[in-house]
Amino acid sequence: MLKLKTPEEIARIRNAGRIVATVLDQVGQMVRPGISTLALDAAAEAIIRQAGATPSFKGYGDPPFPASICASIDDEVVHGIPNANRVLREGQIISIDVGAYLEGFHADAARTFPVGTITQAKADLIRVTEESFWAGFAQAVVGNRIGDISAAVQAKAEAHAYGVVQELTGHGVGRHLHEDPDLPNFGHAGRGLRLEAGLVLAMEPMVNQGTRQVAIKEDGWTIVTKDHKPSAHYENTFAITADGPIILTAL
Ligand code: MG
């Protein structure tokens, strides 16, 4: 069921979103060769709890996700599990995805960071993945349809011959971390749900350097590219308003 949010509810999601943005800013600055993904997770959880919020991801799903962030390195697309033995190395890229729950509402965002110096090919992948988000965001206006967002994301990524992951999508956000509607990163302009003021969505393109095909690891969570080429991820939670879309996961 679709739940449109009031301006007061959107303000609360924005409060949770500021915590998410703080985590991505501060934990992003910790990304460097030699640090473990578990250390990044511990820092993220401390920031969330010090702000009076709860990590949205911890305990989510089945099997219950054990951490506060998803930390996905190189060919891992999303949902990587933080681990003391996963130590970052020069030249890798890492996607950090985080959610915070505050006063009854969630917010959700992700960024992909370079570990030290990376190849131009990886830098291009990170940049185009973010650009595909903003191409979709420009279509997130009242009167357009979900497919207008999806098609814009896909067109931007595929113009660079990247693979756009189809098995996972963006989603509504509110009292639940994942609400209706789904927000695919591929589709056809002019199709799907008509966008209304009060819709709060997380858009999260997952863009692969090679094939769009993915597989799931034996841990039941981690999604990897089938060809083991790198993947990038970029996500914000935003509200659609009469005055245009507003990012809620910003400082
Ligand atoms: Mg999400």
Residue ranges covered by each domain of the chain: 7-247
- Does the pLDDT value for residue 1 go beyond 90? no
Confidence of residue 5 (pLDDT cuts 50, 70, 90): very high
Contact 157, 165 (CB under 8 A): no
How far away, in angstroms, is 130 Cα from ligand 1 center?
15
Place of tokens 């990587």: 80
How far away, in angstroms, is 243 Cα from ligand 1 center?
24
How far away, in angstroms, is 65 Cα from ligand 1 center?
14
How far away, in angstroms, is 204 Cα from ligand 1 center?
6
Share of the chain above pLDDT 90, in %: 98
Contact 84, 71 (CB under 8 A): no
What is 156-188 written as a DSSP string? HHHTTTPEEP-SS-EEE-SSSSSEEEEE-SS--
The pLDDT score that the predictor gives to residue 10 is 98
- pLDDT digit string (tens) for 91-107? 999 999 999 999 999 99
- pLDDT digit string (tens) for 63-77? 999 999 999 999 999
Say which residues have a Cβ less than 8 Å from residue 148's Cβ, sequence separation at least 6: 139, 189, 190, 195
User: What is the token pair recorded at 39?
Assistant: 């250390």
User: What is the token pair recorded at 152?
Assistant: 């814009």
Q: Looking at residues 138-156, what average pLDDT do you find?
A: 98
Which CATH architecture group holds 7-247? Alpha-Beta Complex (3.90)
Give the length of the chain.
251
The conformational region for residue 161 under phi > 0 = left, psi -120 to 50 = alpha, else beta, is left
